[in-house]
């Protein structure tokens, strides 16, 4: 399992197997998945990997910010994920705080937030901060995968 404390090296197009090159353009994308519930994180990570995405898993907001640090603080675009999927309620830093923290970046990273405690005020705040969407648990995996595809390929 890829942890947030590890770095993902992006393969050059020449070394991506032919079968992977036939997947949609977004399929080689890196997704930072931040979820403190181990079972939910495994389920979502598995769905993303089956779609050909590379997934970095973080169990809390602190792990997520450690992984995002080189990108956010040093402008190291090689370490930036293509998408962040985060639970809203997390230990240390919330999904909303992560969303607020990445606002300083020149290149916006799309963010999908998920929550088991939906309320209109939080949803409105998340969308005002630039979240692509807020999914309320429980949700269908097909809806999750569709939201990820829209976030990675907005055109």
**pTM higher than 0.75:** yes
The helix/strand/coil state of 34 is strand
Phi-psi region of 71 (alpha: psi -120 to 50; beta: other; left: phi over 0): alpha
CB atoms within 10 A of CB 75: 12
User: What are 80-139's pLDDT values in tens digits?
Assistant: 899 999 999 999 999 999 888 887 664 678 999 999 999 999 999 999 999 999 999 999
- Residue showing tokens 């090159």: 21
């Amino acid at each position: 399992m890829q942890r947030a404390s590890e770095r993902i090296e992006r393969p050059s197009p020449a070394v991506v197997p032919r079968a992977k090159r036939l997947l949609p353009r977004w399929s080689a994308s890196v997704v930072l998945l931040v979820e403190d519930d181990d079972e939910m994180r495994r389920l979502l990570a598995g769905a993303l990997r089956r779609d050909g995405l590379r997934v970095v898993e973080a169990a809390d907001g602190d792990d997520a910010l450690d992984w995002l640090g080189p990108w956010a603080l040093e402008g190291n675009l090689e370490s930036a994920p293509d998408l962040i999927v985060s639970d809203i309620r997390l230990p240390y830093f919330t999904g909303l705080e992560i969303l607020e923290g990445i606002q300083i970046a020149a290149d916006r990273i799309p963010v999908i937030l998920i929550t088991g405690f939906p309320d209109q005020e939080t949803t409105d705040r998340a969308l005002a901060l630039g979240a692509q969407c807020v999914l309320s648990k429980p949700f269908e995996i097909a809806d999750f995968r569709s939201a990820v595809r829209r976030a990675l390929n907005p055109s």
